[in-house]
Amino acid sequence: MSQKWRMATREVHAGEARIKPENALTTPVFQSSTFTFADTADLARFTEARRHGASGARVEYGRYGNPTVAAAERKLAELEDGESALLFSSGMAAISLVLLSFLSQGAHVVMTDDCYRRTRQFLGDFIGRYGVDSTVVPVGDYGALESAITPNTRLVVTESPTNPYMRIVDLPRLVSIAQRRHVRTVIDSTFATPVNQRPLRMGIDLVVHSATKYLGGHNDLLAGAVIGSTDLLAQVRETQSIIGAVCDPHTAYLLIRGLKTLSLRMAHQNRVGLAVASFLEQHPAVQRVYYPGLVTHPDYTIACEQMDGFGGVVSFELNADLKATCQFVDTLRIPYIGPSLGGAESLIVPVALASYSDYSPEDRAAIGISDTLVRLAVGLEDADDLIDDIRQALDCMLT
């Protein structure tokens, strides 16, 4: 029913019961690990229905589901135009349990590079120990993608926009290659959100999010989500019911609350992201800016075709060295220094120190992470205040 509504209306109303317990306006936090039965006949009816795959919304135990979590899942499914959604305790739990659900010994995965570092670790060293092989291909090289697919390839795993270079994958093109070879596709769409990009409509099979970022939106929760067909999600649900890593009901409540303002927040972060990127591009202390909404970005054309906005993350390199880059970051007054993105408070990190501190300067250079690369995730502050702050810190570098 709510599929007819536009995004902002779905954010507020979708997935939640119209009339809630005690006529509360908000969906309550069902802080309960167990859900009980009136009598043994009730229990027998439940187990019988479940045996026929029709237990409906009813759950018996928190690892198999929770009504607050289920409301958040229904809302997310509607926002992504998917049949079903499943929430997890973190984005990495979502990604790793989705991959575990579809891979077994001897399977092969193709992954585009510039993916979230922990995802690359999971698909590399970690799952390699269980006999799963993976090939990494450069984002934007569709010939390499196609030739990397073998008869054993079960999944093509991608991310768009990427971190930290904000590369954009041509999703219809990736989907057509994978479909021709009968391989399923998974995208980490965390940086885009369903406001800026709807991968399922472009033929992607499964969309994964770190809900910790824009979806939660307030830097106060950790959660992950996967959205896709009910069939595929049933397999992931089965994995989750064995392994756990479930989203707790209070987190689901915070997520429902955060999702109600997703469009409002994204409109602001899209606008401020572009304003900050455009400002940075013309400042003499800045060497290069990576933001897909800039015409100078290599993927600008694809970004305009498949996205409705470019988000609040801007990466840039300074005309400086690591020390001066750190001084720049320390001179800023508004952004906090720390990882993550998508919340109310702007966050900034010198990438060399944050995500790649265990690499030697030579190894960082080899994978193209410059010492002066900075990632700024704009929050909900005023654009002019942020730009003024960045200007004063950049101007310090010129004197």
Ligand X SMILES: *Cc1c(COP(=O)(O)O)cnc(C)c1O
CB 346 within 8 A of CB 269: no
Based on the residue annotation, tell me whether 63 is a catalytic residue of this protein: yes
> In 3D, which of 255, 250, 249 has the Cα closest to residue 343?
255
Answer yes or no whether residue 114 interacts with ligand X by CB under 6 A: no
Choices 85-93, 229-237, 295-303, 385-393 (CB under 6 A): range interacting with ligand X? 85-93
What letter would DSSP give residue 35? -
Answer yes or no whether residue 371 interacts with ligand X by CB under 6 A: no
Rounded Cα–Cα distance for residues 34 and 60 (Å): 6
Q: What is the dihedral of CA 286, 288, 291, 293, to 10 degrees?
A: 90
- Binders of ligand X in range 174-203 (CB under 6 A): 188, 190-191
Would you say 191 or 356 has its CB closer to ligand X?
191
- Binders of ligand X in range 5-34 (CB under 6 A): none
Would you say 116 or 328 has its CB closer to ligand X?
116
Q: Strand 153-159 relative to strand 108-112: parallel, antiparallel, unpaired?
A: parallel
Would you say 107 or 211 has its CB closer to ligand X?
211
Rounded Cα–Cα distance for residues 59 and 73 (Å): 14
Residue from the set 66, 160, 163, 355 that interacts with ligand X by CB under 6 A: 163
Where in the chain does DSSP place strands (E)? 84-88, 108-112, 133-137, 153-159, 184-188, 206-210, 224-228, 286-290, 313-318, 336-337, 347-350, 373-377
Based on the residue annotation, tell me whether 371 is a catalytic residue of this protein: no
Q: Nearest distance from residue 343's CB to ligand X, in Å? A: 12
Rounded Cα–Cα distance for residues 121 and 264 (Å): 34
Choices 68-76, 86-94, 132-140, 148-156 (CB under 6 A): range interacting with ligand X? 86-94
Q: Nearest distance from residue 55's CB to ligand X, in Å? A: 29
Residue from the set 15, 62, 82, 224 that interacts with ligand X by CB under 6 A: 224
Active site residues: 63, 116, 188, 213
Binding residues vs ligand X (CB under 6 A): 90-92, 116, 159, 163, 188, 190-191, 210, 212-213, 222, 224
